C-alpha cells in the first residue's frame, strides 16, 4: 500500500539563470525521475528549478520546492508541495539533504555551494554539465560526471541504492 512507503527523493540543483541546453536537460531529468517513481526536490523557483518540476509533473510525478522566502507565492507553477523556509540562501542546504542523491545541472555559484555541501553531508552527486574543481593542482573526482540526463538519472539511482545498502550493512554490523 502506497501509504506505507517513504518516497524516494532525488534533489536536482541548478540556478535561476541557465542556458537553453541546461533547461532542456533539467526538464528531461524531471520526466525521467517521475517515470521511475522518484519525487523531485529542488529550490522551487525559476530556471533549472522550474524546468525540472515541469518535466516531473507532466509525467505525473511529485515535486517539492524548498523556497527561500516566507511565502509560497514565489514557487514556480509546477511545484506540488511548496515549502517556504524563510532561510534565504541557507535553504540550499535543505535541498541537498532532501535527496537520496543529488544531480547538479548548471554553473551558478549557488550550485557550487550545494555541491560542496552535498559532499560534506555525504550525499552522492552526479554532475550534468556543471562545475569541476581542484585543490593544489589535483582534480577532485567526487562528483560523478554524466553526459546525458538518462545517464545522470541512472547513476543517481544507482548511487542512492549503494548508499542505502551501505547504511543497512552498517546497521547490521552494530
What residues make contact with a copy of itself under the rule CB under 8 A?
2-7, 9, 39, 41, 57-58, 60, 62, 64, 66, 70, 72-73, 75, 77-90, 92-94, 97-98, 107-117, 119-121, 129-136, 142, 167
Determine which helix (DSSP H) or strand (DSSP E) holds 66, and give its type and residue range.
Answer: strand 63-67
**Least separation, in Å, of the C-beta of 68 and a copy of itself?**
9
Residue nearer to a copy of itself on the CB measure, 28 or 85: 85
Residue nearer to a copy of itself on the CB measure, 90 or 150: 90
Q: Give the integer Cα–Cα distance in Å for 148 and 26.
A: 10
What's the gap between Cα 56 and its chain centre? 12
**Least separation, in Å, of the C-beta of 59 and a copy of itself?**
8
Determine which helix (DSSP H) or strand (DSSP E) holds 138, and give its type and residue range.
Answer: strand 138-139
Residue nearer to a copy of itself on the CB measure, 127 or 153: 127
Contact (CB, 8 A) for 56 and 27: no
**Least separation, in Å, of the C-beta of 46 and a copy of itself?**
15
**Least separation, in Å, of the C-beta of 105 and a copy of itself?**
12
Q: Give the integer Cα–Cα distance in Å for 141 and 67.
A: 30
Q: Count the Cβ atoms, other than its own, within 10 Å of residue 96.
A: 24
Amino acid at each position: 500500500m502506497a501509504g506505507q512507503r517513504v518516497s524516494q527523493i532525488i534533489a536536482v540543483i541548478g540556478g535561476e539563470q541557465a542556458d537553453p541546453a541546461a533547461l532542456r536537460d533539467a526538464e528531461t531529468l524531471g520526466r525521467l525521475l517521475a517515470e521511475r517513481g522518484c519525487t523531485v526536490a529542488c529550490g522551487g523557483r525559476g530556471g533549472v528549478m522550474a524546468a525540472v518540476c515541469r518535466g516531473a509533473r507532466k509525467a505525473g510525478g511529485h515535486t517539492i520546492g524548498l523556497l527561500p522566502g516566507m511565502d509560497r507565492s514565489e514557487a514556480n507553477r509546477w511545484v506540488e508541495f511548496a515549502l517556504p523556509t524563510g532561510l534565504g540562501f541557507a535553504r540550499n542546504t535543505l535541498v541537498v539533504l532532501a535527496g537520496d542523491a543529488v544531480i547538479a545541472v548548471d554553473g551558478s555559484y549557488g550550485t557550487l555551494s550545494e555541491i560542496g555541501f552535498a559532499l560534506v553531508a555525504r550525499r552522492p552527486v552526479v554532475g550534468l554539465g556543471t562545475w569541476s574543481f581542484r585543490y593544489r593542482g589535483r582534480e577532485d573526482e567526487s562528483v560523478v560526471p554524466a553526459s546525458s540526463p538518462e545517464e545522470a538519472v541512472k547513476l543517481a539511482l544507482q548511487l542512492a541504492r549503494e548508499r542505502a545498502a551501505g547504511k543497512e550493512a552498517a546497521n547490521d554490523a552494530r
